Structures are given as structure tokens and as C-alpha cells.
Amino acid sequence: MFKHEKQLFHPVAVEGPNPHYAALLQEQLGGGNGELKAAMQYMSQSFRIKDQEIKDLFLDIAAEELGHMEMVAETINLLNGHDVDAAAVGSGEIQSHVILGLNPGLINASGYSWTSDYVTVTGDLCADLLSNIASEQRAKVVYEYLYRQIDDKKVKETIDFLLNREEAHNALFREAFNKVQDTGSNHDFGVTEDSRMYFDLSTPSPAGAFGDTQANPPGFTPPNN
């Protein structure tokens, strides 16, 4: 069950309309590393989880991501604060003018529709947690790029808050992974000597750079230096 609270997860505001930046911010609403993707991924992954504590973690973060999605959509709405006039905007904003009537849409910054293909679900807790850690890191990177491309202090405050929450989620997923890292696919595979070998295929290469055990592929003769 979900419950909608009328107040935003965190207040948002803008110093003034900026439809061009609104189009850029669409990436975090309907893009491959955006808030909707995160919410759907964590919620979908939770359906198979037997550990109730970790299941709750996935659902709690998924619910928060929906709150972030609402924040991003409201910011886009404020940035689009003008009348519909396709002739007055650049090509990057045409989609929201001629199709959406300035409504924040489930599209990315290029106008492509959100797709469930963005969502990664494997049914293996270790794999899904590693995927989520990477997802949060990628989301941070996109927010950092967006942060650098706007001078609006109020928008930057919103992005700063969202960046910090992405890092909080990243840390929570890493903590959960540490608890289960010897289970599932990590328990069933990657346990033989082969899983601990490092093939040095770059020369020159410092010895032991990525582990103590090194090997060359069968039939490979190292060149004479």
C-alpha cells in the first residue's frame, strides 16, 4: 500500500523560468538513470527478496525515489512557467510544447519515452544490489552534470539535496551487499582458484597490481624485454 503525502519530500523552487534547462532536467524524470527508473527497479527487485529487512530497504528507497520524481517534475513544471508557444523555444523543448502542453513527461532530455528496458532485475540479491549501487552512482553523475549547467540557486539547492540522497542510498545498498556478499551467485560460482587469477595482458605492468595470483593464457609466451 502506498500513501501520498501532499507536501513534497523536500521543498522546491526556482528563481525564474528556464525552459531550456527544464528540457535537460527531463533526463532525471524519464531517463535511463532517472528517478522513475530507480523506483521501478528497486520495487520490482523487492518482489523476490526473502530477507524482510532487505526487502523493506528496497521498498523504502523505491518509495523515496517516487518522492524524488515528484520533486523533479515540480521543478520542471516551474521552469516551464510560461505559455505554450513552440515558435518561441529551441528544438530541445519542442516535445513538451507540442505534445505535453508543458506538462513534465516520462521522457528523457532528448524526448525519448521512458521504457522498462531501463530496469534491471535478476532475481539474485548480490547481482541486484551491485546493479543498484551502480545505478545510484550513475544518477549522482547526471545530477552533478546538471548542477554545473545552471546558475539558479534554488534549483541548485534541489539538486544538491537529491545528490546527497543518492549517496545515502548508495551507502545503504553497499551495507546490504556486505551482509549478503557470500550468498546466491557469489556462493555458487567464483569459488575456485580460477576466480582468483589475474591475467597480465598489458606490458609493462606492475607485478601484483590487481592481486597476488597472476597467470598468462594457455599458449601465451611473454615477450622478451
152 annotated as ligand-binding: no
Number of structural domains, the chain?
A: 2
Q: Is 202 annotated as a binding residue?
A: yes
Return the pLDDT at 187: 55
Q: What pLDDT, on a 0 to 100 scale, did the predictor assign at position 221? A: 53
The domain containing residue 201 runs over which residues? 192-225
Q: Is residue 43 part of a domain?
A: yes
193 annotated ligand binder: no
pLDDT in the model for residue 14: 95
pLDDT attached to residue 129: 96
We report the CATH number of the domain holding residue 24 as 1.20.1260.10
Q: Evaluate whether residue 224 is within a structural domain.
A: yes
Residue 183, pLDDT score: 72
> In the chain, which stretches have pLDDT less than 50?
225
Per DSSP, the three-state class of 182 is coil
Q: Do 161 and 224 belong together in one domain?
A: no
**DSSP letters spanning 59-126:** HHHHHHHHHHHHHHHHHHHHHT-S---GGGS-GGGHHHHHTSTT---SB-TTSPBP-GGG----S-HH
Report pTM.
0.82
Write down the pLDDT at residue 2.
78
The answer to whether the annotation marks 10 as part of a ligand binding site is no
pLDDT of residue 145: 97
At residue 206, the pLDDT reads 62
pLDDT, residue 102, reads 85
In a domain, 211, yes or no: yes
pLDDT at 9: 87
Q: What is the pLDDT of residue 79?
A: 92
Q: What is the pLDDT of residue 209?
A: 57
Any binding-site annotation on 97?
A: no
pLDDT at 193: 73
pLDDT in tens, 84-101: 676 767 766 777 777 888
53 is in an annotated binding site: no
